[in-house]
Structure 1
Amino acid sequence: MAKYTGPSCRLCRREGGKLFLKGEKCFSDKCPVSIRAYAPGQHGQRRSRVSEYGTQLREKQKIRRIYGLLEGQFRRYFERASQARGVTGESLLRFLELRLDNIAYRMGFGASRAEARQVVRHGHILVNGRRVDIPSYQVRAGDEVSVAESARAHARIIAAVEAAVSRGLPDWMSLDAKALKGTIKAVPVREDMAPDLNEQVVVELYSK
């Protein structure tokens, strides 16, 4: 399967903002986006006019890279969102937010979404007491997500949970940091999701 193996921070610089791909480094002064706030490459500092299509493409790439999806996976989420009730763009973001790897990241069971995805794949995450090792598993309101007993002593998980608690969790979930388990209190609505994402232009891009 195709996989990006280059520097993660290069993707952030290309999209013009932090995608939070490197865990705690993204919150430190060492973040390359803060040091070099322009696109990578020899032409990165040039100011060029961006077309409507270019704007739509960049926003799509930004959202796709935040959640760590390949193009085919992202398009399938869009097709599913377009068939769901409600606003297509909001449904798209909701499906992405309710992925198990993203939930694990939000609760601090991984310092980044990539690390949380690895924790899920290794079978360290339980949903309602059952082991689930599928990162794309869709969590629902009322579900309890916890760390398996065998992984509760992992130093990286403990440190990631402490960092997540210090930053604060979304209102639609709760977390018991000592027990390493959390609950999805409600399905997130648009106001609960990232305000700097423009999902509408992605809808326009795929609707052409």
Structure 2
Amino acid sequence: MSRYRGARLRICRRLGDLPGLTRKTSKKQMPAGEHGQQSRKPSEYAVRLEEKQKLRFNYGLSERQLLRCIKAAKKVQGSTGLVLLQILEMRLDNTIFRLGMSPTIPAARQLVNHGHILVNDKIISICSYQCKPGDIIKVKDKISSKLLVENYLKFPGLAHIPNHLELDKKKLYGKVNGVIDREWVALQLNELLVVEYYSRK
């Protein structure tokens, strides 16, 4: 099962801020566990593993799904790390989250799975659907669907909508105008370390 259903704050304390996973913040500064206070320098493998785990938990992927994305990114010309981030950012669940239609990526995934979202006037229930420039994302013309998204829009997960997306709050629809730039990726991580992690396996 790809969904992580455990304690989210524990993951955030260990890996840092993950805006896609949860909006909660912990008052505790140290990582979880009895070894959280140790200040021993981590190994190179541990650093790469941590970056990979940030990616996995933020976007809500299983190991197999992330590996599939890495393989797809390697086939495309250009920086593998940047292409990987673009593949993950252009997923339907993440696009809904970045538009502010849901507070977190798991909440966006629920909207998609329950059939509240239309892409180009078709109901899409696959969270990993790759949005393309020109795609129009709408909320289903149903009172319960609209109320749900309107409540989410009052408290968006992130303050700013990326420059490749545009949102009409009154009509409850968003448009994908292009592919995301690196500086608009909300997650703080070094994607090259993730590529290195998989290339050394």
**TM-score (ref. length: structure 2):** 0.92
Q: Secondary structure at the match of 1:149?
A: coil
In the TM superposition, residue 191 of structure 1 has moved relative to its aligned partner by 2.6
Q: Which residue does 1:179 correspond to in 2?
A: 171
CA distance in 2, matches of 1:207, 1:166: 32
CA RMSD in angstroms, aligned pairs only: 1.7
Taking a change above 3 Å as real, the CA distance of residues 165 and 50 of structure 1, as seen in their structure-2 partners, is closer
Taking a change above 3 Å as real, the CA distance of residues 2 and 166 of structure 1, as seen in their structure-2 partners, is closer
> 1:16 touches 1:38 (CA, 8 Å); kept in 2?
no
Gap regions ≥5 residues in structure 2: none
Q: Which residue does 1:48 correspond to in 2?
A: 40
Determine if the alignment matches structure 1 residue 103 to structure 2 residue 89: no
In the TM superposition, residue 165 of structure 1 has moved relative to its aligned partner by 9.1
> 1:172 touches 1:184 (CA, 8 Å); kept in 2?
yes
CA distance in 1, matches of 2:16, 2:185: 19
How many percent identity over aligned positions? 39
**TM-score (ref. length: structure 1):** 0.89
Taking a change above 3 Å as real, the CA distance of residues 136 and 13 of structure 1, as seen in their structure-2 partners, is same
Q: Which residue does 2:10 correspond to in 1?
A: 10
CA distance in 2, matches of 1:16, 1:38: 10
Q: Which residue does 1:78 correspond to in 2?
A: 70
> 1:9 touches 1:21 (CA, 8 Å); kept in 2?
no
Q: Please tell me the residue identity of whatever aligns with 1:55.
A: V
In the TM superposition, residue 82 of structure 1 has moved relative to its aligned partner by 0.6
Taking a change above 3 Å as real, the CA distance of residues 144 and 153 of structure 1, as seen in their structure-2 partners, is closer
CA distance in 2, matches of 1:21, 1:90: 21
Q: What do the CA deviations read for 1:28-52 (whole angstroms, capped 9, x no partner)?
A: xxx21xx112210122122121011
Taking a change above 3 Å as real, the CA distance of residues 165 and 171 of structure 1, as seen in their structure-2 partners, is farther
Q: Which moved more, 1:193-202 or 1:49-58?
A: 193-202
Matched length: 199
Determine if the alignment matches structure 1 residue 200 to structure 2 residue 161: no
Q: Please tell me the residue identity of whatever aligns with 1:191.
A: E
CA distance in 1, matches of 2:63, 2:30: 24
Gap regions ≥5 residues in structure 1: none
Q: Please tell me the residue identity of whatever aligns with 2:6.
A: G
Q: Secondary structure at the match of 2:129?
A: coil
CA distance in 2, matches of 1:54, 1:166: 29
CA distance in 2, matches of 1:2, 1:153: 28
Q: What do the CA deviations read for 1:2-30 (whole angstroms, capped 9, x no partner)?
A: 5432111111111133444224xx3xxxx
In the TM superposition, residue 192 of structure 1 has moved relative to its aligned partner by 2.6
> 1:16 touches 1:39 (CA, 8 Å); kept in 2?
no
Determine if the alignment matches structure 1 residue 147 to structure 2 residue 139: yes
Q: Please tell me the residue identity of whatever aligns with 1:95.
A: I
